[in-house]
Chain A
Amino acid sequence: MSEVKDYKWVGKRPVRPDGIDKVTGRANFSADFSLPGMLHGLILRSSYAHARILSMDFSKALAIPGVKAIISGTDMPLVAMEDAVIGGQPPNFRDLSANLLARDKVLYEGHAIAAVAATSLQIARQALDAIDIEFEVLPHVIDVQKAMEPDAPLLHENQFTQGIEPRPKIPSNIASRYEQVLGDTAAGFAAAEVTVSEEFTTQPVHQGYIELHSCTAQVSADGQAQIWCSSQGQFMIRAFCAHLLGMNISQIRVTPMEIGGGFGGKTTVYLEPLALLLAKKSGKPVKMQMSREEVFTSTGPASGSFISMKIGARKDGTITAAEGILCYQAGAFAGSPVRLGCMTAFAPYAIQNVKLIGYDVVVNRPKSAAYRAPGAPMAAFAAESLLDMLAIKLNMDPLELRLKNAAQMGTQAPYGPKFREIGYIETLRAAQQHPHYSAPLGPNQGRGVASGFWFNIGGQSSAAININEDGTAIVTTGNPDIGGSRASMAIMAAEVLGIDFDKVQPVIADTSSTAYSDLTGGSRVTFAVGMAVVEAARSVVAVLKQRAALLWEIPETEVSWSDGQASAVIKGHTSILSLADIAAQSANTGGPIAAQANINAQGAGPGFGTHICDVEVDPETGRVTVLRYTAIQDVGKAIHPAYVEGQLQGGAVQGIGWALNEEYLYDESGKMMNTGFLDYRMPVASDLPMIDTVLVEVANPRHPFGVRGVGEVPIIPPLGAVANAVARATGTRVFNLPISPPRLLAALNKKRGR
């Protein structure tokens, strides 16, 4: 159980153990790895949004000297229908396989068709140009609402909408329908004195990690394979490759390279199975790396959405009902996070009647992938915009309106469970008290607030701690460090062992060198892997006490442990043995001192955040400048507060980009027009002010130090906070993101009658 106490390391801000390597250029990211004699692999991608592949001819390409292997969809084993899904969990491996290399149809511009391996990149490029493919171009559909119409071009002839009884007889682009009902919305709206309703759209946005996808693979003559790549989980890479290629898991060893950002986008495979196949076919190691254009056209953005939503309330601000229809673009294959959108939209609020219907819709765009709190930001944009409209209608302070309806311990969440200890109200109070909330505003300026909820997860996690003979410790885990988790693991280990942070060396091991761990995602690592580290450290302490007892020749129960040393009262005198003393004598007391913890962590505490945003709008151009921004979040307990603040700041800015700038632009033929960072406009330093943070700490009682996940919540509130600020600055509300200058200017001009 957690308790408020003075920690020696938890809550401090030591320099991260991998820091020096990352500021000197020594850290090895995916593309920094090479093998002698390796080949270079490249992918041939569709330039059509939707087309049937009539024929493929590789003969000219294979005749080029230096071309060593070419693969296409037929080289991928067909995943049997009954093996498509494991344990009811995504991904669908049949779809994943067809996404990695198209089979008979290409479903979006950028869809991979074939891959080549050659002795140089130049030769590989020549080979791509020499591949002959005959296509039959098909009509395509990009827009989610159009894709739902009965006469829309059909992506999958064998897709029948799931979640509808009886099962539809004609195929559809609607992959599934989800319904979530709490209470009786008809009665709830009957009790309402005011209602607000609106339709919203959001555009797909890319995770935008700066590191390009890259990997190197080799396969030995006996079929043993090795992969070096960055990802959000080396065990995920191993499992996906094995399942897709029909290999045993023990045949594949994945070494995690440093990861240059993921945000959910590196929770799946794109290159690794292809590199394995090419390596196997050529008998040589193969390195592959995407271009930025490929990253945009071929890896998962977050879903775009169309959302229709309505809330009703009494005049005192009590929300009596909420309902809505959420339609999310899945991309070319089913699997948008629309269900998560429905579950999270109204989770911050104690509303007795909520009915949400979600549609997962395929369109001729790249398959969507997880992006930080998948599905939640767009749903929260709609819900939080409506709350702001309600506050204006009722002439209520928007934080007061949220306080009036705020979920707390015991509240029935619309998606199922009753909340335990949560800190949403505390974030609202902190927002009210923050100087930002009372700072003066000038002309054309406005202030918006919005909140967000994310579940956070635990999951399978492992950690090993080895005590070295000099009293230092190695902490081995299996989760890529995407934003400072080595520091958190070392802090927690140092705290429990009672030794200095500098004496703990965290290691992230390859798949053959440590026990399985679920991937880095779901805001789970500091919570769940941290729990494993704490458990392993406690086991080590138990061993150390046992060894001290042996050295003192007293019963173990007489030994106590604190501040990194064993103590016991022996013949009236207090004797002490430090961890280093005990470690030095391990040979005499039974051998090496180590412990391993393997857990399936439960009890991840839900996270809530509230953001305040001030903007200034240029009425002549429609440009929005963010003037002040404050992100407030219940983080449970910040293990390394600087990296927790960093999560809030980074998530907030990704959300600001989503709200103001970022979108995929397509031409008439379904080709993405803005495939570079110049035109796909992510926020840069000069777009932003400092991002202030407030870490509210309502301890999660199910973690030894009170940790809740923090990484995902901060991307949820900004869309609403920015939109609400713009609405209050201009008196004009924009319901379609991004609020780019042309879009806002058009709305302002419409209002001005221009």
Chain B
Amino acid sequence: MKNHVKAVVNGEPVEFLCEGTDTLLDVLRNELHLTGTKEGCGSGDCGACSVMLNNRLVCSCLVFGSEVSGADIETIEGMSKDGELHPLQQKFLDNAALQCGICTPGFLVAAKALLDRQPNPSESEVRYWLAGNLCRCTGYDKIVQSVLDVAADMTTGERR
């Protein structure tokens, strides 16, 4: 018997049926066709499937689809608003902070979660916050730099 679940994804109400063993990642990708959230390990070690669940950063491969009844979920597809890229998305592009791009959605979701709670992080804070996201292409340099650049832009913006 499949479970019937209602939730909100990127501000829109959704309904889906899922098996008890289906993860939120399975549901997002296979039922809701939101394939921007990626699978890299299925064990919560790579962060490619990072999403926001009720304002908490989670690996969607570690959450069951049946658990998210009534929840508010944000994925990479909801990050740009009204056709405007989020400053992190733009900075990743400007700084070439992606090579193959498979880890990028997870990094962006995780980095946004950091800046939402700590708008002015140190390099160490950025590195430890993002330690749950694996990137094999970039060596993290341009990713960390992009997050720091956006934080700097945001804090100067506030001071103005």
- A interface residues (Cβ-Cβ under 8 A, vs B): 13, 15-16, 18-20, 22-29, 31-32, 34, 122, 207-212, 258-263, 291-292, 482-484, 640, 642-643, 645-646, 649-654, 676-678, 682-688, 690-691
| Complex CA–CA separation, A211 to B100 (angstroms) | 9
Q: Does B19 contact A (CB under 8 A)?
A: yes
- Given A24-B76, A25-B34, A649-B138: A677 touches B46 (CB 8 Å cut-off): yes
Query: Are B137 and A650 touching (Cβ within 8 A)?
Result: yes
Considering the complex, give the chain B residue whose CB is closest to the CB of A675: B43
Considering the complex, give the chain B residue whose CB is closest to the CB of A631: B139
Q: Does B103 contact A (CB under 8 A)?
A: yes
| Complex CA–CA separation, A72 to B36 (angstroms) | 34
| Complex CA–CA separation, A684 to B126 (angstroms) | 12
Query: Are B93 and A20 touching (Cβ within 8 A)?
Result: yes
| Complex CA–CA separation, A219 to B46 (angstroms) | 34
Contact of B95 among A263, A642, A652 (CB under 8 A): A642
Q: Does B130 contact A (CB under 8 A)?
A: yes
In the assembled complex, the CB of A190 is this many whole angstroms from the nearest CB of chain B, namely 45
Query: Are A210 and B139 touching (Cβ within 8 A)?
Result: no
Q: Which residues of B contact A646 (CB under 8 A)?
A: 96, 99, 137-139, 142
Question: How would you classify the secondary structure of chain B's contact residues: helix, strand, loop or mixed?
Answer: loop
Q: Which residues of B contact A682 (CB under 8 A)?
A: 134, 136
In the assembled complex, the CB of B33 is this many whole angstroms from the nearest CB of chain A, namely 8
Query: Are B35 and A28 touching (Cβ within 8 A)?
Result: yes
Query: Are B131 and A483 touching (Cβ within 8 A)?
Result: no
Q: Which 6 A-B residue pairings sit nearest by Cβ, starting from the closest?
A: A25-B36, A260-B102, A22-B101, A653-B139, A642-B96, A649-B139
Query: Are A685 and B140 touching (Cβ within 8 A)?
Result: yes
| Complex CA–CA separation, A676 to B44 (angstroms) | 10
Query: Are B42 and A292 touching (Cβ within 8 A)?
Result: yes
Considering the complex, give the chain B residue whose CB is closest to the CB of A291: B42
Q: Which residues of A contact B136 (CB under 8 A)?
A: 207-210, 261, 263, 650, 654, 682
| Complex CA–CA separation, A645 to B143 (angstroms) | 13
Considering the complex, give the chain B residue whose CB is closest to the CB of A292: B41
For the A-B complex with A261-B99, A261-B100, A650-B137 known, give 11 more contacts whose Cβ atoms are closer than 8 Å: A13-B96, A24-B36, A24-B80, A209-B100, A211-B40, A212-B39, A640-B96, A651-B139, A676-B43, A685-B133, A690-B145
In the assembled complex, the CB of A1 is this many whole angstroms from the nearest CB of chain B, namely 29
The B1-46 residues at the A interface (CB cut-off 8 A) are 19, 21, 29-30, 34-43, 45-46
Most buried by B among A20, A32, A650, A683: A650
- Given A23-B92, A211-B102: A260 touches B41 (CB 8 Å cut-off): no
In the assembled complex, the CB of A85 is this many whole angstroms from the nearest CB of chain B, namely 31
Query: Are B137 and A29 touching (Cβ within 8 A)?
Result: no
Query: Are A212 and B40 touching (Cβ within 8 A)?
Result: yes
In the assembled complex, the CB of A682 is this many whole angstroms from the nearest CB of chain B, namely 6
- Given A210-B136, A684-B134: A24 touches B96 (CB 8 Å cut-off): no
Q: Which residues of A contact B29 (CB under 8 A)?
A: 31-32
| Complex CA–CA separation, A15 to B142 (angstroms) | 14
Query: Are B102 and A261 touching (Cβ within 8 A)?
Result: yes
In the assembled complex, the CB of B6 is this many whole angstroms from the nearest CB of chain A, namely 23
| Complex CA–CA separation, A482 to B138 (angstroms) | 12
Q: Does B150 contact A (CB under 8 A)?
A: no
| Complex CA–CA separation, A690 to B140 (angstroms) | 8
Contact of A32 among B35, B108, B137, B143 (CB under 8 A): B35
Q: Which residues of A contact B80 (CB under 8 A)?
A: 24
Q: Does B98 contact A (CB under 8 A)?
A: yes
| Complex CA–CA separation, A651 to B141 (angstroms) | 12
Q: Does B116 contact A (CB under 8 A)?
A: no
Contact of B139 among A19, A263, A652 (CB under 8 A): A652
In the assembled complex, the CB of B47 is this many whole angstroms from the nearest CB of chain A, namely 9
Q: Please count how many residues in chain B sit with their CB below 8 Å of the partner chain's CB atoms.
A: 59
Q: Which residues of A contact B85 (CB under 8 A)?
A: 20, 23-24
Q: Does B79 contact A (CB under 8 A)?
A: yes
Q: Which residues of B contact A259 (CB under 8 A)?
A: 100
| Complex CA–CA separation, A309 to B85 (angstroms) | 54
In the assembled complex, the CB of A436 is this many whole angstroms from the nearest CB of chain B, namely 15
Query: Are A260 and B96 touching (Cβ within 8 A)?
Result: no
| Complex CA–CA separation, A168 to B1 (angstroms) | 63
Q: Does B75 contact A (CB under 8 A)?
A: yes
Most buried by B among A24, A32, A292: A24
| Complex CA–CA separation, A265 to B92 (angstroms) | 26
Q: Which residues of A contact B105 (CB under 8 A)?
A: 23, 25
Contact of A677 among B41, B99, B142, B144 (CB under 8 A): B41
Query: Are A210 and B102 touching (Cβ within 8 A)?
Result: yes
Q: Which residues of A contact B35 (CB under 8 A)?
A: 25, 28, 31-32
Query: Are A210 and B135 touching (Cβ within 8 A)?
Result: yes
Query: Are A15 and B94 touching (Cβ within 8 A)?
Result: yes
Considering the complex, give the chain B residue whose CB is closest to the CB of A25: B36
Considering the complex, give the chain A residue whose CB is closest to the CB of B35: A32
- Given A23-B85, A483-B137: A685 touches B130 (CB 8 Å cut-off): yes
Most buried by A among B77, B95, B100: B100
| Complex CA–CA separation, A183 to B132 (angstroms) | 52
Contact of A31 among B39, B96, B130 (CB under 8 A): B39
Most buried by B among A15, A211, A262: A211
Q: Which residues of B contact A258 (CB under 8 A)?
A: 100-102
- Given A122-B19, A261-B100, A685-B133: A25 touches B37 (CB 8 Å cut-off): yes
Most buried by A among B30, B35, B99, B133: B99
- Given A19-B93, A28-B35: A484 touches B40 (CB 8 Å cut-off): no
| Complex CA–CA separation, A690 to B149 (angstroms) | 14
In the assembled complex, the CB of A65 is this many whole angstroms from the nearest CB of chain B, namely 17
Query: Are A210 and B134 touching (Cβ within 8 A)?
Result: yes
- Given A23-B85, A24-B36, A260-B38: A643 touches B102 (CB 8 Å cut-off): no
Query: Are A642 and B100 touching (Cβ within 8 A)?
Result: no
Query: Are A482 and B94 touching (Cβ within 8 A)?
Result: no
Considering the complex, give the chain B residue whose CB is closest to the CB of A483: B99
Considering the complex, give the chain A residue whose CB is closest to the CB of B97: A646
Contact of B143 among A212, A642, A676, A685 (CB under 8 A): A685
Q: Which residues of B contact A20 (CB under 8 A)?
A: 85, 93
Q: Which residues of B contact A262 (CB under 8 A)?
A: 100
Per-residue CB contact flags for chain B residues 28-71 toward chain A (1 = under 8 Å, else 0) read: 01100011111111110110100000000000000000000000
* 28 intermolecular pairs with C-beta atoms under 8 Å apart: A20-B85, A23-B93, A23-B105, A24-B80, A24-B89, A25-B37, A25-B75, A31-B38, A122-B21, A209-B136, A210-B40, A210-B103, A260-B100, A261-B99, A482-B100, A646-B96, A646-B138, A650-B99, A677-B46, A682-B136, A683-B139, A684-B140, A685-B140, A685-B143, A686-B127, A686-B128, A688-B139, A690-B141
